[in-house]
């Protein structure tokens, strides 16, 4: 007989079960089980219900993890947009921005993304792996059990492969799941002798097939923005990526609109940023299957407005929230604080914030096996030391989980 593990009793479990992928969610629609037990088998949830009843039915093959204090259990969080594979710091950019320069001005002067590209190219793959794991540990301490990680600081065939290999090897060394995305279309590298179109042609013909062949990623991202790529330039690249079987996601509407329309036209999984999206873009996204991903960490890092998350939900859109953790625009890398702050600034219910970092974020990564606590889903769980779910968002990231379970195993405990 297979071994099973019963966790409990748990004061409150927010299962997320039955909440739709799109639209607003009042807090009273958040499904909660009180005095709950969670039975786990082979890394998956076998049963979730009332602990006292489940405990009566345990057999000799059931290990019990008896909880001695009050906990709220949530699905492990999913951070659907990060750039945590990088070397170096951009503290100087941050200081310059706060002294009055814009993100795009700093980039034009040779700072910005290109500075991180230089430092990342100079780093060994081992150093990149160490950096990823160090940052992922911090995310894990917030309850994040799945992290999307983009390339995009290599910007040549060789260096982009190095980044994607580092992400893959880091994934093998650390229990949190890493989902990689090729962001070779971040900017045209400054050392490339040719047009943005010529650069995109080379990466679509030389890099993307190698990524597929070596099974390094099945996702492609592109930065649609002034100083990066425009819609006309990127279309042939996205067509090629689609043809090769990649799933698409777009850095859209961060400083100027355009990217979200493209995301809808290409049926991308997600359109991320959306700080300057107007009602027109919001409606377009809401009528599509594209998930809107807000990145409050980038608004905080750049000192600019937040994604209109309230409007996106009210229009019937699917909202996820991710950290965008990167050395330039979003150095904080604290998803729980950022999501709670967006909730406060945009007047989101706790149910909407929680959905945006669990099953709705999982959908942005095309993962349908996590983010909800019900039979057959991954046993990815975080246990917060409180008896009331509202305390978690109220503390805006100050209340950390005490125990985290990934695929049914305890991988983190804070004493």
48 or 302: CB nearest ligand NIG: 302
5 or 156: CB nearest ligand NIG: 156
| Size of site (CB under 5 A) for Fe ion | 1
Q: Does 275 interact with Fe ion (rule: CB under 5 A)? A: no
116 or 146: CB nearest ligand NIG: 116
| Interacting residue with Fe ion among 46, 115, 275, 324 (CB under 5 A) | 324
Q: Does 177 interact with Fe ion (rule: CB under 5 A)? A: no
Residues of this chain that interact with ligand NIG (CB under 6 A) are 83, 112-113, 116, 223, 251, 254, 298, 324, 326-330
73 or 364: CB nearest ligand NIG: 364
Per DSSP, 306 falls in state P
Burial class (CB in 10 A: 0-12, 13-18, 19+), 380: buried
How near is the Cβ of 78 to Fe ion at its closest, in Å?
16
Asked if 112 and 254 touch (Cβ cutoff 8 Å), the reply is: no
4 or 337: CB nearest ligand NIG: 337
Q: In the numeric block, which tokens belong to residue 364?
A: 């942005």
Q: Decide which of Fe ion, ligand NIG, none touches 85; Cβ closer than 5 to 8 Å per partner kind.
A: none
181 or 337: CB nearest Fe ion: 181
Q: Decide which of Fe ion, ligand NIG, none touches 328; Cβ closer than 5 to 8 Å per partner kind.
A: ligand NIG
Greatest extent of the chain over all pairs of C-alpha atoms, in Å? 71
Q: How many CB atoms lie within 10 A of CB 301?
A: 25
Q: How far apart, in whole angstroms, are the C-alpha atoms of residue 343 and residue 354?
A: 10
Q: How far apart, in whole angstroms, are the C-alpha atoms of residue 290 and residue 264?
A: 6
Q: Does 253 interact with Fe ion (rule: CB under 5 A)? A: no
Q: Decide which of Fe ion, ligand NIG, none touches 297; Cβ closer than 5 to 8 Å per partner kind.
A: none
Q: How far apart, in whole angstroms, are the C-alpha atoms of residue 206 and residue 200?
A: 10
Angle between helices 157-173 and 112-122 (to 10 degrees): 70
The distance of Cα 230 from the centroid of its chain, to the nearest Å, equals 24
Q: In this chain, which stretch among 5-13, 102-110, 282-290, 316-324 interacts with Fe ion, using CB under 5 A?
A: 316-324
Asked if 77 and 357 touch (Cβ cutoff 8 Å), the reply is: yes
How near is the Cβ of 255 to ligand NIG at its closest, in Å?
9
Residue 367, helix vs strand vs coil: coil
Q: How far apart, in whole angstroms, are the C-alpha atoms of residue 359 and residue 348?
A: 16
How near is the Cβ of 319 to ligand NIG at its closest, in Å?
17
Name the site residues for Fe ion (rule: CB under 5 A).
Answer: 324
């Amino acid at each position: 007989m297979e071994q099973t593990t019963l966790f409990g009793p748990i004061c409150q479990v927010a299962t997320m079960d039955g909440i739709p992928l799109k639209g607003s969610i009042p807090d009273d629609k958040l499904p909660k089980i009180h005095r709950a037990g969670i039975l786990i088998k082979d890394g998956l949830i076998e049963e979730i219900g009332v602990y006292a009843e489940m405990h009566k039915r345990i057999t000799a093959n059931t290990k019990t993890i008896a909880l001695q204090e009050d906990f709220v259990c949530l699905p492990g969080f999913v951070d659907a947009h990060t750039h945590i594979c990088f070397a170096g710091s951009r503290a100087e950019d941050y200081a310059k921005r706060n002294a009055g320069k814009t993100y795009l001005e700093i980039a034009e002067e040779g700072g910005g993304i290109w500075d991180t590209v230089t430092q990342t190219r100079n780093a060994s793959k081992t150093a990149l792996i160490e950096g990823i794991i160090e940052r992922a540990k911090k995310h894990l301490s917030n309850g994040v059990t799945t992290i999307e990680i983009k390339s995009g600081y290599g910007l040549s065939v060789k260096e982009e492969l190095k980044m994607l290999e580092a992400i893959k090897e880091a994934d093998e060394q650390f229990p949190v799941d890493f989902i990689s995305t090729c962001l070779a279309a971040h900017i045209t590298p400054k050392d490339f002798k040719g047009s943005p179109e010529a650069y995109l042609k080379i990466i679509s013909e030389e890099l993307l097939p190698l990524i597929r062949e070596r099974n390094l990623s099945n996702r492609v991202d592109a930065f649609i923005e002034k100083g990066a790529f425009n819609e006309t330039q990127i279309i042939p690249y996205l067509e090629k990526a689609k043809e090769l079987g990649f799933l698409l996601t777009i850095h859209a509407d961060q400083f100027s609109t355009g990217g979200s329309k493209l995301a809808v036209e290409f049926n991308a999984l997600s359109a991320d940023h959306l700080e300057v999206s107007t009602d027109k873009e919001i409606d377009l996204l809401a009528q599509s299957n594209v998930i809107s991903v807000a990145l409050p960490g980038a608004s905080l890092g750049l000192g600019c407005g937040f994604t209109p998350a309230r409007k996106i939900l009210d229009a019937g859109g699917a909202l996820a929230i991710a950290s965008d953790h990167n050395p330039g625009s979003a150095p904080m890398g604290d998803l729980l604080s950022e999501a709670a702050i967006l909730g406060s600034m945009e007047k989101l219910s706790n149910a909407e914030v929680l959905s945006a970092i669990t099953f709705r974020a999982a959908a942005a990564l095309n993962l349908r096996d996590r983010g909800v606590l019900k039979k057959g889903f991954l046993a990815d769980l975080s246990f917060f030391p409180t008896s009331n779910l509202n305390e978690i968002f109220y503390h805006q990231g100050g209340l950390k989980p005490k125990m985290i379970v990934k695929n049914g195993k305890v991988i983190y405990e804070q004493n």
